[in-house]
A and B are shown apart, each in its own frame.
Chain A
């Protein structure tokens, strides 16, 4: 890469001397250091999953593993149930994101496009949910779920994920539906298209960019949820656990069972799929996650 020459040519173009180069050089070093700070822990975790305990706790934990054995990955997958937790998480997040998007866009569409008594009040009710910390609802939510018999079930988790994802989804999509032109939908209605068909066949495809952003936002948010799973899926429902609580649990137990390589293998299994998805969709993911802040 002609990094140095590009740098030199810009500074020459600007007609500036040594000071800019020094500053540019230092800021390059800063950028590089931060990149290493981000990449290094992840690479180290991956390598550590191939090490033995002696290598991990020996004199040089920074060294490469002597040989690449995949035993720890097998142990993490089967004995620590990481495979099960991954499947559980995929199931829960797929269903709850789908329902969040369906219900969220239905409510947002009606609130954005129809005038009726109570419209403003319902919109404000949804948006007010954004100002409460979820910790406030923790105790009553647990009691409610217990009374409904939904504690320790994926149904309960899905319902709660959908309900707590609605405020932001409705807030964002209402604003989005308002920006879409009204004429297309009106023309369809004139031609005898029902309200419901207009929504699913005309408005939803038009709203695709907004729907994609907010779907990404919800998938990542729900995938990374830790608080709600540990509250709603307590210890006696261990076969229902999700990936974040599974990993945190091995970490708590690792001290006793001393399977550190297994822990690092489990961590790698949780990180690598996310990393791959992120690299493929990084542009969409970055805009999906920051889009809420820019509204």
Chain B
């Protein structure tokens, strides 16, 4: 068919396809794909953005990163984030979503949540619709190091000395993880709740008839059957652990401080590009970040897929 002359019907069809695809495709290629390609190219140059002239410097930007303490500090922070943040968030969210969906036991042959479940689901999810930057400003006031901060004021009332939530180098990153968990839990409560409601009701009925308590229901029935949703949640949280830009930029002392104790790669990319105008180095960091995210996603899908065979 493709060899012959196009009939008017086909011509109209291809004309329609082209007219519908043209604008979105051009926008996407120009502002997204072309930028990513350029990023790889710029990462091998010493571009400083001021003049269009730059030289290719091979792997110089990347070798410079290997000697850069701040870069490694940021990478270490991503590792901490990646280990702690998803684990804490998923644990809290699983517990809550179990209570809110199945914790009330059986009523009229249907699994129910504890009383007030609908209210809790609405409240818990709310931080998710707030901008991370706004959450950052909000918590700045709450976590202030002297007793004018809300938490320290409460601690003062019970006779505890003020805690430097964001100014203590050993504590600051954990404070930031805490705020991330605060914002994320509600999303995963709703996500896991959707997963739990799709588990067939008779599975729980059968288990309840066999005399399974809440603990058995949770660990032996709900958790295995929720595996797919958990996997998705884990990947989402993992990818979030490679971001953290808005929160660290807004909330931490000196943007990534104290003394780089909370800095993350996206923040260093932003700073290197727009404060120091080192576009080559910034793009090299971007390439490093890309491969880290990709490795994480591929590994997670691999590892969790293997475990799924058990069920």
Interface residues, chain A, CB within 8 Å of chain B? Answer: 1, 3, 6-7, 10-11, 13-14, 16, 20, 23-24, 27-28, 30-31, 34-35, 37-39, 41-42, 44-45, 48, 56-57, 59-62, 103-104, 106-107, 109-111, 114, 116-117, 122, 125-126, 129, 131-133, 135-144, 159-160, 162-164, 166-167, 170, 194-196, 199, 220, 223-227, 231, 243-245, 247-248, 250-251, 260, 263-264, 267, 270-271, 274-275, 278-279, 282, 285-287, 289-290, 293-294
Q: Is the CB of B283 closer than 8 A to any CB of chain A?
A: yes
If A23-B214, A35-B120, A227-B246 touch, whether A139 touches B148 (CB-CB below 8 Å) is no
Q: Is the CB of B66 closer than 8 A to any CB of chain A?
A: no
CB of B136 within 8 A of CB of A136, answer no
CB of B20 within 8 A of CB of A110, answer yes
CB of B24 within 8 A of CB of A166, answer yes
| Whole-angstrom distance between the Cβ of B140 and the nearest chain A Cβ | 6
Which B residues are CB-close (under 8 A) to A271?
Answer: 130, 134, 138
Interface centre among B122, B134, B157, B186 (most CB of A within 10 A): B134
Contact flags B1-24 to A (C-beta < 8 A → 1, else 0): 010000000001110110111011
Inter-chain CA distance A114–B85, complex, in Å, is: 43
Name the segment of B158-166, B219-227, B228-236, B303-311 touching the other chain.
B228-236
CB of B132 within 8 A of CB of A62, answer no
Inter-chain CA distance A141–B49, complex, in Å, is: 11
Q: Is the CB of B56 closer than 8 A to any CB of chain A?
A: no
CB of A114 within 8 A of CB of B13, answer yes
User: Contact check: which of B21, B104, B213 meets A122 at CB < 8 Å?
Assistant: B21
Closest to B140 in A: A251
| Whole-angstrom distance between the Cβ of A256 and the nearest chain B Cβ | 15
Total number of B residues with any Cβ neighbor in A under 8 Å: 107
CB of A37 within 8 A of CB of B273, answer no
User: Contact check: which of A45, A137, A166 meets B141 at CB < 8 Å?
Assistant: A45
CB of B122 within 8 A of CB of A282, answer yes
Interface centre among A39, A107, A126, A225 (most CB of B within 10 A): A107
Inter-chain CA distance A170–B149, complex, in Å, is: 45
Q: Is the CB of B286 closer than 8 A to any CB of chain A?
A: yes
| Whole-angstrom distance between the Cβ of B110 and the nearest chain A Cβ | 12
User: Contact check: which of A11, A45, A60, A264 meets B153 at CB < 8 Å?
Assistant: A60
If A133-B266, A136-B39, A136-B290 touch, whether A31 touches B139 (CB-CB below 8 Å) is no
CB of B289 within 8 A of CB of A48, answer no
CB of A290 within 8 A of CB of B38, answer no
For residues 27 through 45 of chain B, which have their beta carbon under 8 Å from a beta carbon of chain A? 27-36, 38-39, 42
Name the segment of B95-103, B169-177, B199-207 touching the other chain.
B95-103
User: Contact check: which of A28, A111, A139, A160 meets B282 at CB < 8 Å?
Assistant: A139
Closest to B280 in A: A139
CB of B133 within 8 A of CB of A244, answer yes
- What are 14 inter-chain pairs, A to B, with CB distance below 8 A? A28-B114, A38-B182, A56-B148, A139-B269, A139-B283, A140-B35, A142-B274, A166-B27, A220-B129, A223-B131, A226-B249, A247-B137, A286-B121, A294-B194
Q: Is the CB of B94 closer than 8 A to any CB of chain A?
A: no
Closest to B128 in A: A289
Which A residues are CB-close (under 8 A) to B119?
Answer: 35
CB of A31 within 8 A of CB of B96, answer yes
Closest to B277 in A: A139
Which A residues are CB-close (under 8 A) to B190?
Answer: 286, 289-290
Q: Is the CB of B302 closer than 8 A to any CB of chain A?
A: no
Closest to A128 in B: B33
Which B residues are CB-close (under 8 A) to A39?
Answer: 123
| Whole-angstrom distance between the Cβ of B125 and the nearest chain A Cβ | 6
Interface centre among B24, B27, B104 (most CB of A within 10 A): B24
| Whole-angstrom distance between the Cβ of A200 and the nearest chain B Cβ | 11
CB of A1 within 8 A of CB of B115, answer yes
Top 4 closest A-B pairs, CB basis?
A163-B31, A224-B131, A136-B286, A140-B38
CB of A37 within 8 A of CB of B114, answer no
User: Contact check: which of B103, B106, B213 meets A13 at CB < 8 Å?
Assistant: B106
Interface centre among A126, A162, A224, A289 (most CB of B within 10 A): A224
If A275-B126, A294-B229 touch, whether A166 touches B289 (CB-CB below 8 Å) is no
Inter-chain CA distance A24–B233, complex, in Å, is: 26
Inter-chain CA distance A214–B92, complex, in Å, is: 27
Closest to A103 in B: B24
Which B residues are CB-close (under 8 A) to A144?
Answer: 31, 34-35, 38
| Whole-angstrom distance between the Cβ of A8 and the nearest chain B Cβ | 11
Closest to B37 in A: A140
